[in-house]
A and B are shown apart, each in its own frame.
Chain A
Amino acid sequence: MMTRGMTNIVKTTTRLICGVIFIFGIYLVSHGHLTPGGGFAGGTVMAGAFILLVLAFGDDVKHLRKTEEGSSTLENLAILLFLLMGVAGMLFGANVFFKNFLEAGTMGELFSAGVIPFLNILIGIEVAAALFTVFLAFVIFKEEEK
């Protein structure tokens, strides 16, 4: 039987740190309005966790293609919701595109700064899905060439 992916050392290390990397990405995105980081940085970290999984364990092309379809759809949905948030600012706020229409709240709390955390999360999802989609596209292209 042909073993897929890399050696056992890499697989075990990946199993240990992959979840930590993903949670760190979620932290960066969700605390983007409080601490350094944000949607772009956190999304890249989250995509890194997925890319590490695919690199270490490998997958067959059929399943990869299904995953790519899912991540591509997620990416499109995220940017659509981002745009709708801007339109919502126009509807509820003072007719300004991307108006911060929610209450600012107390500075320093997790639920503060109005729409900024939501926009951060959407951008994080968008960046993560986009990078993962690009990576998967290249992997599928390489696998099909064999």
Chain B
Amino acid sequence: MEVLIAIIIVLMIAGSIYTLHSRDLLSAVISYGITGFGLVICFLLLQAPDLAIAQILVEIITLIIMISVIRISTREDVTERSTIHIKGVRYINMRTAAYIVTGAVFMIALLYFFMDATVLLDPFGVHQVRMSAAYMEVGAAITGSANLVAGVLFDFRAYDTLGEATILITAVIGILTVLRLKGRR
């Protein structure tokens, strides 16, 4: 499994490097999606389907938002023909062919890893109580909290709670930044 995750991480790094260096904003956004969907497969391989669901939703929504933003903002189009005519002879543009091959390879690789990852999961509708059973048995005794929800939220999963608080603060910073643009003008 470590080998699979390492391969996926290499693909993710390649996708993000292309994002940095691509000329076209739209292809940058699409190749950025490789990182997110690679992470989904990593979560599935590590047996965390709930995280995978959240990640795939966030990834699709951000992709749609970014593409719509690019559509209505200044998109720098790279006009490149797939075939070139020189002295009446048609040549295939090698860069376009390379793009198509790379896209197909990435799609097939991600699909293969996705199929591979879903094999490990429990069947649909079967519940797992590996973690929950331990929490329910000793949670109240260890944390000393009568409210088990608070015990899980602030003791076992306090790191998660820090992430939630960080999301909140990031949202506030974003809203303040967007709304202040008017005042600066």
Contact = CB atoms under 8 A, between A and B. Distances in A.
| A and B form one complex | yes
Interface of A: 32-40, 72, 75-76, 79, 82-83, 86, 97-98, 100, 104-108, 112-116, 119-120, 123, 126-127, 130, 133-134, 137-138, 140-141, 144
B175 A134 contact: yes
**Considering the complex of A and B, which 10 residue pairs feature the smallest CB-CB distances, nearest first?**
A104-B144, A98-B158, A113-B145, A33-B145, A113-B144, A119-B154, A116-B154, A33-B150, A141-B179, A34-B146
28 contacts: A33-B150, A38-B147, A38-B149, A40-B164, A72-B176, A76-B169, A82-B162, A86-B162, A97-B159, A98-B162, A100-B143, A100-B155, A107-B145, A108-B146, A113-B145, A114-B143, A116-B143, A116-B144, A116-B155, A119-B161, A120-B154, A123-B165, A126-B168, A130-B169, A130-B171, A134-B171, A134-B175, A138-B175
B159 to A, nearest CB: 6
Contacts of B33: none
A60 to B, nearest CB: 16
Given A36-B147, A107-B144, 11 more contacts: A32-B147, A35-B147, A72-B172, A86-B159, A107-B140, A114-B143, A116-B150, A116-B154, A126-B165, A130-B168, A134-B172
A105 B141 CA distance: 10
Interface residues on B, range: 20 to 34
A40 B154 CA distance: 12
B125 interface: no
Interface in B93-123: none
A72 B161 CA distance: 20
Given A116-B151, A119-B161, A79 B169 contact: yes
B182 interface: yes
Given A32-B147, A79-B165, A115 B182 contact: no
Given A72-B176, A134-B172, A98 B159 contact: yes
